[in-house]
C-alpha cells in the first residue's frame, strides 16, 4: 500500500513539473525579443501550433496538449450559426449557394460588410441532408479568413 502511495506521489510531482515546464514555454515564447539594433520589440502572441511544436515529447501528456493546441488553432476562425433556414432543393450545389446567400444577407444585416470585405472562406452545413418535415435545421459552419473578422461579427451579433 505504501509503495503505491509513493508511486502516486512521484507521478503527481512529475506531472506538476511538466505543467510548470509548459507554462514556462508559453511565457518564454511570448516575451519581448531584441532586434538587430539593440531595441526591444514586442513579440506577437505565438500561435498555438508554434507552441505545440515545442511541446511534443514522446510518452508525456505534452502530445495531448500539443494536439489540443493545434486543434484550437485550426478552429479559431470558425463560427457556427444555428436556425438558418435550409433550402428544400434536392441539388446540393443549389443548397450550398442558398446557404451562402443567406449567411451573406445575415452579415449585411449585421452591418459587417462595411468593415470586412469578403469575410467568408467556406460556408457548409454540419451533418447529413435529410429531407424531413420534423423542423430540424442543420447548423451552418462559417470559416473566416482570420480571428479579427470573427470577433467583429460576434460583437455585431449581440447588438
Domain ranges of the chain: 2-74, 78-157
Per-residue buried b or exposed e for 137-148, using 16+ beta carbons within 10 Å of the residue's own CB: ebebebbbeeee
- pTM of structure: 0.59
**How large a percentage of the chain has pLDDT more than 90?**
16
Question: Considering only 4-8, 69-73, 112-116, 121-125, which range has the smallest mean pLDDT?
Answer: 4-8
Q: What are phi and psi of 7, to 5 degrees?
A: -65, -45
Mean pLDDT of 131-145: 84
Distance from the Cα of residue 51 to its chain's centroid: 15
- The pLDDT-based confidence of 26 (bands split at 50, 70, 90) is low
Amino acid at each position: 500500500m505504501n509503495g503505491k502511495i509513493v508511486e502516486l506521489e512521484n507521478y503527481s510531482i512529475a506531472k506538476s513539473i511538466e505543467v510548470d515546464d509548459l507554462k514556462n514555454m508559453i511565457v518564454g515564447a511570448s516575451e519581448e525579443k531584441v532586434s538587430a539594433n539593440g531595441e526591444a520589440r514586442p513579440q506577437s502572441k505565438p500561435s498555438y501550433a508554434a507552441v505545440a511544436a515545442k511541446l511534443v515529447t514522446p510518452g508525456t501528456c505534452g502530445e495531448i496538449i500539443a494536439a489540443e493546441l493545434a486543434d484550437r488553432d485550426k478552429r479559431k476562425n470558425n463560427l457556427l450559426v444555428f436556425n438558418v433556414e435550409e433550402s428544400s432543393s434536392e441539388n446540393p450545389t443549389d443548397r450550398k449557394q442558398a446557404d451562402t446567400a443567406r449567411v451573406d444577407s445575415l452579415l449585411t444585416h449585421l452591418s459587417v460588410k462595411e468593415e470586412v470585405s469578403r469575410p467568408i472562406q467556406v460556408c457548409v452545413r454540419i451533418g447529413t441532408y435529410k429531407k424531413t418535415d420534423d423542423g430540424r435545421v442543420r447548423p451552418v459552419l462559417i470559416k473566416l479568413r482570420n480571428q479579427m473578422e470573427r470577433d467583429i461579427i460576434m460583437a455585431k451579433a449581440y447588438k
